[in-house]
Structure 1
Amino acid sequence: MTRCPPLPSLALAALLALPLASQAQQAPTPAGQRHFPEAALRGELKILSAAEAELNGKPVRLAPGLRIFNPGNALVFAHSLINQPIKVNYVIEAGTGMLHTVWILTEAEARQPRKGGEGGNTAQTAR
């Protein structure tokens, strides 16, 4: 009686699962467009340090789990953006008031209307 599946079967299963895992991580959208949550607002972000930033000229704290996505939807480290003003869509954590998620916008995304603070486009997104 065989208790463990043979090694070639496990290797084959792992190889077949690789393309599925890579597709799930990339999650491409039609025509390269990203979809932002309804709660996301527009603004200008300037990272000042590992814990502090300015959002639309006002101080904001960065959440410990802050995620910053570049225009290609890859994660970016906050320290690599220090003192660079960037146009973003963002989500503030409701319980703490800290900056939780940020998407760095392309020029085309920045032209699309979205509710935001001072310096951002104040038009509502039509849905």
Structure 2
Amino acid sequence: MNRCTTRSSGPAPSRRAPRYFHAAVLAAMAGAALCIVAPASAQVQPGLGLSRPFPEAALRGTLSMNTASEATLNGKTIRMAPGMRLFSPQNTLVMAHTVMGQTFKVNYVLENSTGMLHAAWILTESEAAQPRKGSDAVITNITTSSGAALK
């Protein structure tokens, strides 16, 4: 086995390192800039023609995530179904653990057999302004005025 005993004519390894280090730093900065800009341009902005079709069975309410398996819906504690889906205003999935302790105006669907929370959609301001069954408004047939006003 022959080994070269003479030094090569190129720069010493200690002199090559700074050149490659600067190139690596520039490449990392360019990659970080792309990561910051790309998600912002790829998001769907609410109110720009986004119309989400909610199921007919969806009700309106106020949702707050308590734990990974429990939430507060309209002031009452409710269990979440194992496959519960929470959708953002851009209609993307939201992981429940990322919004613990926050309160949202939502449309929601309960499972028929168990009564657990099955799906919820966080509403935009324009969606929340539209009336929907199950909203926080109290509807009653009790009146305190005279019956003549009802005719």
Aligned residue identity for 1:115:
K
Highest relative contact order (Cα 8 Å, sep 6+), 1 or 2?
Answer: 1
Matched, 1:32 2:50: yes
Q: 2-side partners of 1:105 and 1:80: how far apart? A: 17
Aligned partner of 1:114 in structure 2 is 132
Residue number in structure 2 paired with 1:105: 123
Counterpart in 1 of 2:65?
47
What is the Cα-based RMSD across aligned positions, in Å?
A: 1.7
2:75 corresponds to? 57
How far has the Cα of 1:116 moved from its partner?
Answer: 1.0
- Mapping of 1:61-80 within 5 angstroms? 61-80=79-98
Q: Judging changes above 3 Å, is the alpha-carbon distance between structure 1 residues 107 and 120 closer, same or farther for their aligned structure 2 residues?
A: farther
TM-score, normalised via structure 2 length? 0.58
Aligned to 2:100: 82
Task: Return the offset for 1:31.
Answer: 2.0
State the 1:81 CA deviation: 1.1
2:61 partner SS: strand
Q: In structure 2, how many angstroms separate the alpha carbons of the residues matched to 1:66 and 1:41? A: 16
Unaligned runs of 5+ in 2: 1-47, 140-151
Tell me which amino acid in the other structure corresponds to 1:62. Answer: M
CA contact (8 A) 1:113 1:121 kept: no
- Alignment size in residue pairs: 92
In structure 1, what is the Cα distance between the partners aligned to 2:96 and 2:69?
9
Which of the two has greater strand per residue?
1
Structure 1 stretches lacking a partner, 5+ long: 1-29, 123-127
Which residue number in structure 2 is paired with residue 21 of structure 1? none
Deviations 1:32-67 (A, max 9, x none): 111101000000000100011110000100100000
| Percent identity for Structure 1 against Structure 2 | 58
Structure with higher Rg: it is 2
Please report the TM-score for the alignment, with normalisation by the length of structure 1: 0.68
